[in-house]
Amino acid sequence: MKKIFKYYFTTALLFLSIAIYSQQKNIENVLDNNYTVVPTFDVRSNGLLGSSYINEQFLAVKLVNTDKTYLMRYNAYKDEMEFEKDGKLFYLTKVYDFSITFEGSNKVYQVFSYQEIKGTKDGYFVALSKGDKVSLLLQEKIKYFDGVKARSSYTEDKPASLKRIKDKLYIGYKNNTASELPNRKKDLLKLFSSKSTEIEAYAKKNNLGFKNTEDLIEIFKYYNALN
């Protein structure tokens, strides 16, 4: 009996080791299957104001299912995660269910599919609250604004610029799709389906608003904890 138990235990450990190794190789493959960044703008040559990045520094990140640390930064204008390898700059391949955690701020990015004017797009979102049912997501955006020529000798030219615009909140689903949160409370409550009455009562009891991000985090946590 002991020999049988030892055999199955050893076999289980072997399969676990293989699974962990496979996960690690998949992560390394994600880093290997990328393409070189070709900058659209050269700030120094054309006087473009602003930055493409939420933080221009490369910061330490941990990728899902690995203990290795990598250096990355988020290009919010391009909606790409950048890293350096062999002296070259690369975009990280977008992969679902693949979290990227910036260690200093504990900020977690994850890829979701969402709808834009031009169609469906995969993009990075900050996971404010992750749950088994839904997640509360934040989309960070930097937008390009054309320069403006002076209309008279009394005014000056305004150079082209990159500016941070207002962040948007989204609800993320288990199928890796995301939808922008509606502004109206009654429309937001509809997202919680049969639990909308419980959510509304919980929010009222705890004095939580539906437009405050911190309050929404608590509401999403409560919803995910419901049976």
Residues 93 and 138 in one domain: yes
Amino acid present at 188: L
Residues 52 and 73 in one domain: yes
Residues 161 and 218 in one domain: no
Per-residue confidence at 32, pLDDT binned at 50, 70, 90? low
Mean pLDDT of 122-139: 96
Whole-angstrom Cα distance, residue 194 to residue 95? 32
**Residue 188 half-sphere exposure, CB side, CA atoms within 13 Å?**
21
Give the sign of the dihedral formed by CA 148, CA 75, CA 121, CA 112: negative
pLDDT for res 41: 40
Number of domains in the chain: 3
Per-residue confidence at 1, pLDDT binned at 50, 70, 90? low
Q: What is the pLDDT of residues 168-201, one digit of tens each?
A: 999 999 999 999 999 999 999 999 999 999 999 9
Residues 134 and 48 in one domain: yes
Residues 147 and 132 in one domain: yes
Please tell me which residue, 165 or 66, carries the higher pLDDT value.
165
Domain of 208, in residue numbers = 182-227
Mean pLDDT of 211-223: 96
Per-residue confidence at 139, pLDDT binned at 50, 70, 90? very high
Residues 140 and 195 in one domain: no
Residue 208: both structure tokens together: 């939580």
Per-residue confidence at 23, pLDDT binned at 50, 70, 90? very low
Residues 118 and 169 in one domain: yes
Determine the angle formed by the axes of helices 213-225 and 196-205, rounding to 10 degrees. Answer: 130
**Residue 216 half-sphere exposure, CB side, CA atoms within 13 Å?**
24
Provide the β-strand partners of residue 89.
84
Residues 80 and 16 in one domain: no
pLDDT for res 67: 78
Q: For residue 111, give Cα distances in angstroms to 93, 124, 141, 183, 193.
A: 10, 5, 15, 23, 25
User: pTM of the prediction?
Assistant: 0.79
pLDDT for res 157: 76
Residue 107: both structure tokens together: 């900020």
pLDDT over threshold 60, residue 151: yes
Chain-wide mean pLDDT for the chain? Answer: 81
To the nearest whole percent, how much of the chain has pLDDT over 70? Answer: 80
pLDDT over threshold 70, residue 21: no
pLDDT for res 140: 97
Pairing mode, if any, of strands 100-102 and 49-50?
Answer: unpaired
Among 180, 202, 218, identify where a domain stops: 180
pLDDT for res 44: 41
Mean pLDDT of 61-67: 83
Residues 24 and 96 in one domain: no
Residues 75 and 89 in one domain: yes
Residues 111 and 41 in one domain: yes
Whole-angstrom Cα distance, residue 211 to residue 140? 17
Residues 157 and 59 in one domain: yes
